[in-house]
Amino acid sequence: MEKHKEHKPYQCSECLKCFSEKKSLVRHMRVHTGEKPYQCSECLKCFSQKNRLVTHMRVHTGEKPYQCSECLKCFSQKNRLVTHIRVHTGEKPCQCSECLKCFIEKSKLVKHMRVHTGEKPYHCSECLKCFSQKSSLLTHMRVHTGEKPYECSECQKCFIEKSKLVTHMRVHTGDKPYKCSECLKCFSQKTSLVTHMRVHTGEKPYECSECQRRFSVKRSFVAHMRVHTGDKPYQCSECLKCFSQKRYLVKHVRVHTGEKTYECSECLKCFIEKSKLVRHMRVHTGEKPYECSQCLKCFIEKSSLVTHMRVHMGNKPYQCTV
């Protein structure tokens, strides 16, 4: 038996959409007029439909009448429960037409599509930087406000975003969940593992535009570029001497403090930097890694080999001024 076509005699004069009941048309017209006759008595927010107000009121009452039968989690709206159920069923009905990736809900698909379109609708009012997601903009705004809402319970250090706190907590817990499949070395951060993997692959993605030297780590590349620019952003507060890298400043400051953190286990002599301790240890071990290619004589330090080579080359760079 043929199904009767539903009669819809009430038509919207604006968009020509049709409705079976007059009250449905009246509700729909508010889309065009902007009328919102239903007001929340708590926060005065207005709604075009009564059922929207009823749902909104649960924000204030805390009522969550829709319960998941699997995990007993409760929701204030039925559509939230319907979406949540997919966590248990594994259903992902919203598929990306570009890469075929699937999502539990439409809003997640909409956000994902910006990866392909490049759309960044959220603008920072301070620096005009754009973002594809509102949450990313909110996190970014803390750069300008200085807000750091996530505090470490161990050392009270604060962070702009929760993910940074989670990563930081591994300093205290010692947790290193990212393991290298080649050498089994473990790391606390995924980015550290990605950088480490270049040791095995030989990949050096950062190239200097001046001398074409390549680097596997971005910070090494940035530090190298200062060789060409002459930039020395790290200044000693004692003598105002400047350095291109922070580690050079840290070592230099020990000249003023007298700190010698590297101690020889054999004679207890102390050194400002580790490299000097390594060279000193050869006095005890007898190691002489620098060999003359002419006479095979060996030396503890490279500088001694360089000086010795002048015997063979006949080079005499130092002239008497008297």
Predicted local confidence at residue 1, as pLDDT? 46
Predicted local confidence at residue 314, as pLDDT? 82
In sequence order, which residues have a C-beta less than 8 Å from that of residue 273 and are 6 or more positions away? 251, 254, 262
The top-level CATH class assigned to 22-98 is: alpha beta
What's at 254, amino acid-wise? Answer: R
Sign of the CA dihedral running 261, 263, 268, 270: negative
What's at 296, amino acid-wise? Answer: L
Which run of H or of E encompasses 181? none
Dihedral of the CA atoms 65, 69, 73, 78 (nearest 10)?
-40
pLDDT less than 50: residues of the chain: 1
Q: Which CATH superfamily is domain 206-313 in?
A: Classic Zinc Finger (3.30.160.60)
Q: Which two tokens stand for residue 315?
A: 């080079």
Instruction: Output the CA angle 306-311-314, nearest 5 degrees.
Output: 105
pLDDT in tens, 4-40: 567 889 999 989 999 999 988 998 999 899 999 999 9
Predicted local confidence at residue 272, as pLDDT? 86
Task: Estimate the share of the chain in helix, then strand, then coil, as percent rounded to the nearest 5.
Answer: 40, 15, 45
Predicted local confidence at residue 5, as pLDDT? 63
Q: Which two tokens stand for residue 278?
A: 């390594």
Contact between residue 81 and residue 66 where contact means Cβ atoms under 8 Å apart: yes
* Nearest CA-CA partner of 161 in 189, 134, 135, 185: 135
Half-sphere exposure for 85 (CA within 13 Å, toward CB): 11
Instruction: For the chain, give every domain's residue range.
Output: 22-98, 122-201, 206-313
Predicted local confidence at residue 4, as pLDDT? 58
| Same fold: 22-98 with 206-313 | yes
Sign of the CA dihedral running 143, 231, 235, 214: positive
* Nearest CA-CA partner of 121 in 107, 109, 134: 134
Dihedral of the CA atoms 144, 146, 151, 156 (nearest 10)?
140
Q: Which two tokens stand for residue 259?
A: 């700190």
* Distance in angstroms (rounded) separating the CA atoms of residues 51 and 76: 13
* Nearest CA-CA partner of 43 in 32, 28, 51, 53: 53
> How many Å separate Cα 252 from the centre of its chain?
31
CATH number of 122-201: 3.30.160.60
Predicted local confidence at residue 100, as pLDDT? 94
* Distance in angstroms (rounded) separating the CA atoms of residues 285 and 277: 12
3-state secondary structure 61-109: HCCCCEECCCCCCEECCHHHHHHHHHHHHCCCCEECCCCCCEECCHHHH
* Nearest CA-CA partner of 153 in 169, 174, 171: 169
